[in-house]
Structure 1
Amino acid sequence: MIRCITIDDEPLALIQLTGYIEKVPFLKLVKACNSALEALDLLAKDPVDLIFADINMPDLNGVDFVKSLVNKPIIIFTTAYTEYAIEGFRVNALDYLLKPFGYNEFLKAANKALHQYELQAKIQQHPLPASPEVPAENGNNNLFIKADYKMIRLDMNKIIYMESQNEYIRIFFEDQKPVMTLLSMKKLEERLPAERFMRVHRSYIVNLEKITAVANNRIIYGKDTYIPIGNQYKDKFNEYLEKHYLGKL
């Protein structure tokens, strides 16, 4: 059972979320909070597994609320403002529900949370050692990591980007489902070939060869994958662009 809370300053939105949660057998609502401050008080005493949080709230907005959490549960943002989507991804939210959303959309997000919850539970029950990697030398395009209780060979040619999720790394590919492993971003960054992979954010390492476009301080892959460029990594990434592209940035 996934223990969750909802946070929204709109009473009707809380009522809707409560109704949806009651329909999902693997969700248990701990409390419906009408502010992020109320949620902070609750979490200090009673941690939960999942939070459904509005973003545009008085006193403390949803993004700043998530940033303030030391031990982050699974986060699903609910908001009426599309411009907050990138902010949600920057704090590693699992999903983003745009108001008004129906039960089917809510259920899809809840199922994603269930998958994440079960994966984290397996890893906690059977902790994995730090993953050994094989550096790319002499034309070697493979890495080995430990995931799903076995050693998995990864083809670096097919990696799109890597995302840090607390002490775990989720690796995204062109033609297969993401995999998750216990590994630090620093160690991964050290072992990847620098001419092909670059850390562009505290939570993201990207494959430079797979970039589709760059716009509004974001790296774009395909049609709907956007990776934010962190301020401390911006100069290094701009140097890469200046070196490889015609014209001025």
Structure 2
Amino acid sequence: MAAGAHIKTVLVDSSAGMRSSLSNLLDIYRTFRIVAQFDDVNLANDYILNHPVDLVFVQLSIGNPQYSGDGSFMVGFLSSQNPDLLIVPYSDNPRDAYLTQTLGATSFFTVPVDVMHFQRVIQRISYLFELICIKRESENRTIMIKNKTGYQIAKFSDILYIENSNRKKKIVCVNGSEIDVLNYTMDELERLLEGSSFFRCYQSFIVNLDKITSIRTDSVSRTYTLSLEGLQEEILLSREKQKEVIARLQQRSSNITI
């Protein structure tokens, strides 16, 4: 988890006593900051959509599905509005676990709270929150590139890959635009981007790991290629880097097709 980062948390439950118990339980971990508490689904939804919130704990039985929507509605609605929002519903029925997963919940637990199971829920929340922090950092980071006309600034999140072809290096962006890079070797660019979302997958390619959608293996030629978001052509992946790139992707996200 990012140093000093607190998980901004909202509690939604019709019982003030349960909200207090959950708040006390979360205080043990020292990484959660309760920013709001609600006993009404509509008020909670309105707040969560209009304020910075990382995590929601919601009682499934809260509300009335005929009028305001219940906890299940809230899970499905919020997950569709904000895919990065961590949502943990709970109920007294273990069978609700499958339902909440289909609606996009991050995890699930039953009440009364089993401390050991709740610990596993917290571990999953912490892991996913760390990935989200990495993603946010990457989206906000920029690189200043020297080109023919001077300097150009590009966000990491706008870059698909960097290619070295015929001794000319270029940055290819998500929108299809290209930026010529002067006075840098691929080794120097790799060092400049070390510790970020970029990875040297082949001698002539540095790719943005956040843009990879799949890794393909050709069993006949024994070659590997990467598919990137919105890009028709594939990027070469060296055999020596195949295991490393898979490990890096698994660390960053579980939503990559491998």
Please report the TM-score for the alignment, with normalisation by the length of structure 2.
Answer: 0.53
Structure 1: distance between partners of 2:35 and 2:93: 26
Structure 2: distance between partners of 1:85 and 1:30: 26
Q: 1:142 to 1:86 in 2, by over 3 A?
A: farther
User: Is the CA contact 1:97–1:106 (under 8 Å) kept in the aligned structure 2?
Assistant: yes
Letter in 2 for 1:38: L
Q: Which residue of the partner structure matches residue 74 of structure 2? A: 65
Structure 2: distance between partners of 1:56 and 1:142: 49
Q: Which residue of the partner structure matches residue 40 of structure 2? A: 35
Structure 2: distance between partners of 1:44 and 1:132: 28
Q: Which residue of the partner structure matches residue 105 of structure 1? A: 117
User: Is the CA contact 2:76–2:104 (under 8 Å) kept in the aligned structure 1?
Assistant: no
Give the superposition deviation at 1:93.
1.7
Q: Which residue of the partner structure matches residue 61 of structure 2? A: 56
User: Is the CA contact 1:77–1:97 (under 8 Å) kept in the aligned structure 2?
Assistant: yes
Q: Which residue of the partner structure matches residue 135 of structure 1? A: 216
Structure 1: distance between partners of 2:70 and 2:104: 16
Which is greater in Rg?
2
2:52 aligned counterpart, secondary structure: coil
The correspondence of residues 149-188 of structure 1 with structure 2, limited to 5 A, is 152-153=242-243, 180=253
Question: Once superposed, what is the RMSD of the aligned Cα atoms?
Answer: 3.3
User: Is the CA contact 2:63–2:71 (under 8 Å) kept in the aligned structure 1?
Assistant: no
Q: 1:94 to 1:136 in 2, by over 3 A?
A: same
User: Is the CA contact 2:75–2:89 (under 8 Å) kept in the aligned structure 1?
Assistant: no
Identity %: 14
Give the superposition deviation at 1:25.
0.5
1:24 aligned counterpart, secondary structure: coil
Please report the TM-score for the alignment, with normalisation by the length of structure 1.
Answer: 0.55
Give the superposition deviation at 1:143.
7.0
Structure 2: distance between partners of 1:115 and 1:21: 16
Q: 1:129 to 1:78 in 2, by over 3 A?
A: closer
Q: Which residue of the partner structure matches residue 22 of structure 1? A: 27
Residue 108 of structure 2 is aligned to residue 96 of structure 1 = yes
Structure 2 regions of 5+ residues with no counterpart?
Answer: 1-5, 139-156, 158-208, 229-240
Paired residues, what number?
A: 162
Q: 1:101 to 1:129 in 2, by over 3 A?
A: closer
